[in-house]
Amino acid sequence: MEFRNFLLAALRPDDAAALTPRLKEVTLSSGEILFEPDDPVDTLYFPSSACISVIALMRDGRSVEIATVGRESAAGLLDVLTDCPAGARSFVQIAGAALALKASDFRARLRESPSLMRLALLHVRANARQTETSVACNVTHTADGRLARWLLMTQDRVGAAAFPLTQDYMAVMTGVQRSTVSVMAAGMKKAGVIDYSRGHVTILDRPRLIAHACECYATVQRQFEGLRTEG
């Protein structure tokens, strides 16, 4: 079986043989909440075309995105690995397909397979680096550079140049007001870098968008690129 998800595609043959019969194809709906803070994480999700957002919730009701998970990795991986409750809210940012696996099945295979444990830990490390980079980025880099980075990351995670994304959620992604996002998106559209209409974004000029993005895009990408054939 060929996997569109990069973590599953990197499995060694014996790990793939053990886990594949236990994978279940699911369709994730936009806005669907997978985990709330302190929820038990009983299922591991390996997106194929869906994009899952991990957000930190503040007491005053504000929220900011700290990570995204798409076809490059798996949602709930650290919590499943440690058998701990969810630490943040995870919900479906962009609807699409995924493969679901019971947490208990994954942990059972981990106990038998050092290669799977190594692959899982490397993905946890890459996801942690993504979160660390996002924190530093939100403090040090301009809002338009952050927006360009998140748009590129979203394209990478869904594997398509066009995807649904509202200005409200762009504001969550970048940690700025919706009015600021509106100005930035309009500027990118006028420059021919993206097209944006009725909650849908199309990346028209990826090289220019990369040039516009802050350095954190390349930093995060390097964390995952080496994992595509790790197994």
Among 60-74, 94-108, 172-186, the range with the most confident prediction by mean pLDDT is 94-108
Alpha carbon distances (Å) from 199 to 205, 211, 231: 19, 24, 38
Of the two residues 95 and 60, the one the predictor is more confident about is 95
Are 40 and 152 in a shared domain?
no
Confidence (pLDDT) at 230: 54
pTM of the model: 0.84
Confidence (pLDDT) at 62: 74
Between CA 42 and CA 157 the distance in angstroms is 23
User: What is the number of domains present in the chain?
Assistant: 2
Are 19 and 114 in a shared domain?
yes
Residue 148 in this model has a pLDDT that exceeds 70: yes
Are 25 and 122 in a shared domain?
yes
Mean pLDDT over 82-90 rounds to: 92
Residue 82 in this model has a pLDDT that exceeds 60: yes
Are 32 and 103 in a shared domain?
yes
Per 3-state DSSP, the chain is made up of helix, strand and coil in percentages (nearest 5) of 50, 25, 30
Mean pLDDT over 7-23 rounds to: 96
Least confident of 7-16, 132-141, 194-203: 132-141
The answer as to whether 92 is a domain residue is: yes
Between CA 45 and CA 199 the distance in angstroms is 25
Mean pLDDT over 78-102 rounds to: 94
Contact 124, 76 (CB under 8 A): no
Order of all β-strands in the sheet with 24-28: 24-28, 96-102, 43-47
Joined together, the tokens standing for residue 120 give 């899982």
Are 129 and 156 in a shared domain?
no
The answer as to whether 222 is a domain residue is: no
Are 189 and 79 in a shared domain?
no
- DSSP class of residue 193 equals S
Domain limits at 199? 142-214
